[in-house]
Structure 1
């Protein structure tokens, strides 16, 4: 099969109709898509084309399938094609990449179960055509099974399309760093980073299996077509190393550089560190826009360790920016334009000088104070009518021992004041039993307790920031209410809840999370709901000014910032005190992401780092800075 046709223009405007943009300067071909949804549709279309082609030839289509959050959009689109457009999977044979070992197939953590719930139960792949590594075999039977798995792939004629994700270690399947290019299906030990990344789904790293059965690198390399996908900023570093650096066993994904028909498909966040995206002037001619000029000059200033206004012509000439000087110069004009544009971002009155209504949308009950607590405090201090909308309960992010502590508190409280009843005693017993059973802590009653913990913490934190309790809105959006890390897609009911709050309060400004690194995906989904609600409200001419903030994992780069709100030492201290009110998330959070530091430490370090970078660029020096981008279109 041939690689999909992609436009190569560096300035191409990506739309749903265009398959993507081939990025120059990489060894492994990389295609950039406007967002994850567009990427998923194009992968599904290629798979569907193969299936139809094989059907017309009277042959089987053999697919290699991954699991995880990355391919789920592809599976949803394939299901839609089957259910709405009649795509027939009866000629499809599938081989999954991997499975944890040991692992029972009906376990909530099993890839057997995951594949059925997310794909096989919704399409008509014949049962006998489905192959998934067996995680329940005894150790003595695993090697023979792996050899038979290889024979089954060969008997099917080999894999036509192998879909892959990529782990932060560069693993493909569960081929961890050090895997041989010639490796075949086998039992492997999991890298600590891989186990840490899986911890959220298992309720803690200690519960993640130590081993897995995986197709080998050689097995993957034998596929006629390989489609590797990467989504999100946390994948950007390994994407760059896999696509641009030398091939090495320490990054198994880099072996795909030698594959004759492999492509790495990316959203803009995952592509962010590739040279063609980060510093495109180093690999290609570019069309110099004001945004690109700003990015280039900031990059140059940091590269040569000079404030913007001290940059010289020789700095530009020695760093691939001669073309910028020729097209947009002289140098003194370029310097001043970029410096002035950065100065314009500094805003001490983010809500304006006249009182107005403002809504801060917080995906989880602590994102408001962690991500923009200083701005929240400033808005309240400056007299604005500030409301906080907590979009989800955050109940799955509470440790069982914290829930038990609160159950015990209520029990002792009732005893102390002689308020116990038969009903309260029965409820306490039921909660204790549910919390004592590993894997059963997501009962509806336990989730209510955990949700209440998060709710009371959020109200206390909001009041610390100057927002009264009656201005805290708990939306309990339906998409989140699964009791598991896996969520439902955003639906009309979610959008309606957001739209109704905006319609009721009629805010002049809203703030929402623009964080694409959220390990749960909840931030991204909440943003999707808000953007969809704004589209609905646009029909009623209700369009508040909308600003994006980053979550706990990463900050905007200086060239991306549209508004920078300075924080004083006093405001920073109050922000930390507000974060401290989230006691269930302090010391050690259940879902810390890829940074194990406490949230208040990350928040303080991030704001100080942004302030330091502004200062080093020659702008005023502040204690801390919170950064925002104006919402324009879709994320």
Structure 2
């Protein structure tokens, strides 16, 4: 296996080799069958991959040879392409000797359609570098009928004519597909037409503004074509990829998970972030891999919670045998099971509080929040105009009821999540109430809109106002005054398309202004980095960026940041630092607050792979958290919302 130095684990690099420090290190254990490295974040990882590609291009240039790259689309490689463009513009990296072959394309699909991979590659890479047009090869989504087979064979032949792929960049789908090689793809398959798996179409639905618009077929390079590459790098970002990464890296080779075929490639690396690598055995249960672990408090908590799940026991019921039988003898060498159980039970017990803003006049030594000041100024940052009630509606209600000065700040308009049908209905109602040219213009614009076209500014404004009206309905229901509700409409989001701009200085300054205005003691923000369309991550980056710049302000010394999760994931029990219980009545109140967001009910545009409505997902998640606490031997509640405190000195 020939792995470039930049992607070697630290233990395999020379002392003079300056490279990244991976979070984990690849080990030839009985679990892992594919070389992989894990980075703290996808940005750093993407830069390293871009550096490897650039090194290969320059090496080929010096030898006066063509560099043949296999390229991928989707969100995973975007940062890699951005870095390659930067190196071209700022460091003189030339692509004059590069020939590219893209993995796949939807079928049917016109090149100028904004959802086409031809459009994607030119927008993110080809329009910004000096690659000759004739050197770019992307499957043609307009090929039909009898032409398809001949076209696919010619695509394969063209790759061979250039001597094969020197480097293949891959992403991975949640079905385990690489390219569009869905489950069932054969080991020796070549370029061909394939029917897309339902999960793949669901994942693509946000970009197409609904699954009904996602093509059912695609042209893709085959497994054999991918495997023929001299070097393969697969990118995996986010917790929503963790399960399929584990199956691919640790599972048996199977057509049901096509990416597992890469286990037999001699020069393949999976480049992951911490979320994507979180389910690997060495990360999730490292005590099963290494008996000489350093048992930190956090690792101990993780292990004890896991052990309870494995044995079906509560914390206080665990015995020495339970620990020894499950790879934790090293932990027992430091303290006996009785003391350990008591410490872990108390740790989790102290996370539970009905006073998310702190309990006045109480000893707060073992409470998650401070008792003073008794009445706190609170900002709840909500990426979209419903995340506040979906993710922490019960806590929101509790903070208001307990007399804290609560401010809700919606970071984006959420306008793209309003369907044209809803917008048309509102526009027609508006026209009937007050006939106007503006209303008719909006109606005409919506009716004339084509599948691949963008909303006009007027339509976007209407859709944003629909979300605002729903937000006011929800916050009023909880008991918040309108003057405590803010809509920032951060510029990064306001593109009118699924693709957003990068976070800008203007975004950060807007965030700083609202924080300075409120001078909060508490900030709540979405820490759900597995958000399917990325807005949550950018919004969290905006919060962190603003807070870091304001750290020298006196009021910030008393400001704590609590992170909640969105509709798709919850914090692991061992991670939770504050758990706010809800009674059955509070669960219903939260449900009704979510109902206020009518445009996001009954056929929401960004459904994900879960067909239930958001209130159903939220309730199940909150019930599940309460059940997990109960199973560990702690108090019995109807539901719980969970939070993790972010400490800037840990970053």
Q: Give yes or no for TM over 0.5.
A: yes
The question of whether the paired residues in 2 share the 8 Å contact of 1:518 and 1:593 is answered with no
- CA pair 433-603 structure 1, distance change in 2 beyond 3 A: same
Residues 1:269 and 2:284 aligned together: no
Matched residues in 2 for 1:555 and 1:8: separation? 34
Aligned with 1:444 (options 431, 436, 457): 457
Describe the superposition over 1:200-219 as per-residue Cα deviations: whole angstroms up to 9, x where unpaired: 11122121111111111000
Counterpart in the other structure of 1:487: 500
Counterpart in the other structure of 2:99: 93
- CA pair 227-84 structure 1, distance change in 2 beyond 3 A: same
The question of whether the paired residues in 2 share the 8 Å contact of 1:380 and 1:386 is answered with yes
Deviation of the 1:357 alpha carbon: 0.7
Residues 1:34 and 2:54 aligned together: no
Q: How does 1:126-165 map to 2 (within 5 A)?
A: 126-165=132-171
Deviation of the 1:19 alpha carbon: 5.1
Counterpart in the other structure of 1:523: 536
The question of whether the paired residues in 1 share the 8 Å contact of 2:38 and 2:272 is answered with yes
- CA pair 38-441 structure 1, distance change in 2 beyond 3 A: closer
Residues 1:548 and 2:563 aligned together: yes
Secondary structure of the structure 2 residue equivalent to 1:560: coil
Counterpart in the other structure of 1:345: 351
Residues 1:574 and 2:589 aligned together: yes
Q: How does 1:368-379 map to 2 (within 5 A)?
A: 368-379=388-399
Counterpart in the other structure of 2:128: 122
The question of whether the paired residues in 2 share the 8 Å contact of 1:232 and 1:517 is answered with yes
Aligned with 1:361 (options 378, 381, 384): 381
Matched residues in 1 for 2:517 and 2:468: separation? 22
Matched residues in 2 for 1:16 and 1:413: separation? 65
Residues 1:2 and 2:16 aligned together: no
Counterpart in the other structure of 1:427: 441
The question of whether the paired residues in 1 share the 8 Å contact of 2:115 and 2:452 is answered with no
The question of whether the paired residues in 2 share the 8 Å contact of 1:434 and 1:441 is answered with no
Counterpart in the other structure of 2:298: 291
Counterpart in the other structure of 2:367: none
Deviation of the 1:438 alpha carbon: 3.5
Q: Which runs of 4+ in 1 moved over 4 A?
A: none
Matched residues in 2 for 1:109 and 1:530: separation? 31
The question of whether the paired residues in 1 share the 8 Å contact of 2:528 and 2:536 is answered with yes
Give ranges in structure 1 of 5+ residues lacking alignment: 10-14, 415-419
Residues 1:602 and 2:603 aligned together: no
- CA pair 492-227 structure 1, distance change in 2 beyond 3 A: same
Counterpart in the other structure of 1:315: 322
Deviation of the 1:440 alpha carbon: 3.7
Residues 1:614 and 2:629 aligned together: yes
Describe the superposition over 1:152-199 as per-residue Cα deviations: whole angstroms up to 9, x where unpaired: 111222111101000111000000111111111111111111112111
Matched residues in 2 for 1:84 and 1:341: separation? 51
Deviation of the 1:68 alpha carbon: 0.5
Deviation of the 1:236 alpha carbon: 1.2
Aligned with 2:645 (options 619, 630, 635): 630
Counterpart in the other structure of 1:193: 199
Deviation of the 1:424 alpha carbon: 4.2
The question of whether the paired residues in 2 share the 8 Å contact of 1:6 and 1:20 is answered with no
CA RMSD of aligned residues (A): 1.6
Q: How does 1:384-399 map to 2 (within 5 A)?
A: 384-399=404-419
Describe the superposition over 1:105-161 as per-residue Cα deviations: whole angstroms up to 9, x where unpaired: 111111001100011111111111111111112222121121111121112221111
Deviation of the 1:307 alpha carbon: 0.7
Secondary structure of the structure 2 residue equivalent to 1:559: coil
Residues 1:532 and 2:577 aligned together: no
Give ranges in structure 2 of 5+ residues lacking alignment: 13-17, 361-373
The question of whether the paired residues in 2 share the 8 Å contact of 1:434 and 1:443 is answered with no
Aligned with 1:302 (options 294, 305, 309): 309
The question of whether the paired residues in 1 share the 8 Å contact of 2:454 and 2:497 is answered with no
Matched residues in 2 for 1:595 and 1:108: separation? 26
Describe the superposition over 1:494-524 as per-residue Cα deviations: whole angstroms up to 9, x where unpaired: 1111111101111111011000221110001
Counterpart in the other structure of 1:22: 25
Counterpart in the other structure of 2:176: 170
Matched residues in 2 for 1:443 and 1:432: separation? 9
Describe the superposition over 1:515-567 as per-residue Cα deviations: whole angstroms up to 9, x where unpaired: 02211100011011111111111133453210110000011110110111111
The question of whether the paired residues in 2 share the 8 Å contact of 1:66 and 1:173 is answered with yes
- CA pair 512-576 structure 1, distance change in 2 beyond 3 A: same
Deviation of the 1:426 alpha carbon: 4.1
Count of aligned positions? 622
Aligned with 1:411 (options 431, 444, 452): 431
- CA pair 234-452 structure 1, distance change in 2 beyond 3 A: same
Matched residues in 1 for 2:19 and 2:647: separation? 17
Residues 1:77 and 2:83 aligned together: yes
